[in-house]
C-alpha cells in the first residue's frame, strides 16, 4: 500500500486537482489527475495532469512553456480533492490559463452576467503555434 492508495479516486480513476499559486494564494486552475499523473507530479516536482479530452497525461507547459513548479501536494479532509501549491513559470507574471490569463478563474458574475475581470497577458495565438 502506498500514499496513492489513501486517495478516494472516482469511478474513472481520477481525482480533482486545484492549483494555487504559492506566493499570492491565487487559485490559478482546476484539472484532473489519475494515479500516474499524481505519482509523476510528486516525482518531477512539476504538475502533470490527466487530460480527459485527449485521454492521456499532460505535463503542464509542454506546449506553452508555462510550467507549474510544485512546492506542496495537499489532500483534503475527505481524501477526494488534491491541492497543489505552485509557482507558475514561463512568463512574468505567471500564465496558467490557455486564454493567456494569469488564472482560469477570470470570469465574475456581475448583475446576472459573466464579466471578464483579468487581462490577457499574452495572446494565445503566440503561445500555441
Spans of all domains in the chain: 3-89
Whether residue 31 is predicted with pLDDT greater than 90 in this model: the reply is yes
Helix (H) or strand (E) run with residue 126 in it: helix 124-127
Retrieve residue 90's grid coordinates. 514561463
Q: Among 3.40.50.720, 1.10.357.10, 3.40.228.10, 3.10.20.810, name the CATH number for the domain at 3-89.
A: 3.10.20.810
Percent of the chain with pLDDT over 90: 76
Rg (CA), the chain: 15
Alpha-carbon distance of 98 to 85, in angstroms, equals: 19
Nearest 5°: the CA angle 88, 93, 95 is 50
Helices of type H across 17-91: 35-44
CA distance 7 to 126: 38
- pLDDT value at 87 more than 80: yes
The grid coordinates listed for 29 are 486552475
Mean pLDDT over residues 95-107, rounded? 90
pTM of the full predicted structure?
A: 0.89
Q: What is the structure's pLDDT at 82? A: 98
Amino acid at each position: 500500500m502506498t500514499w496513492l492508495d489513501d486517495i478516494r479516486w472516482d469511478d474513472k480513476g481520477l481525482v480533482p486537482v486545484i492549483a494555487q499559486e504559492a506566493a499570492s494564494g491565487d487559485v490559478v486552475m482546476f484539472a484532473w489527475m489519475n494515479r500516474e499523473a499524481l505519482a509523476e507530479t510528486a516525482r518531477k516536482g512539476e504538475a502533470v495532469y490527466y487530460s480527459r479530452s485527449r485521454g492521456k497525461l499532460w505535463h503542464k507547459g509542454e506546449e506553452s512553456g508555462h510550467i507549474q513548479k510544485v512546492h506542496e501536494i495537499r489532500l483534503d479532509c475527505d481524501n477526494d480533492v488534491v491541492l497543489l501549491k505552485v509557482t507558475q513559470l514561463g512568463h512574468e507574471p505567471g500564465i496558467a490559463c490557455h486564454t493567456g490569463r494569469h488564472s482560469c478563474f477570470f470570469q465574475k458574475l456581475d448583475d446576472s452576467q459573466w464579466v471578464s475581470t483579468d487581462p490577457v497577458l499574452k495572446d494565445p495565438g503566440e503561445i500555441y503555434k
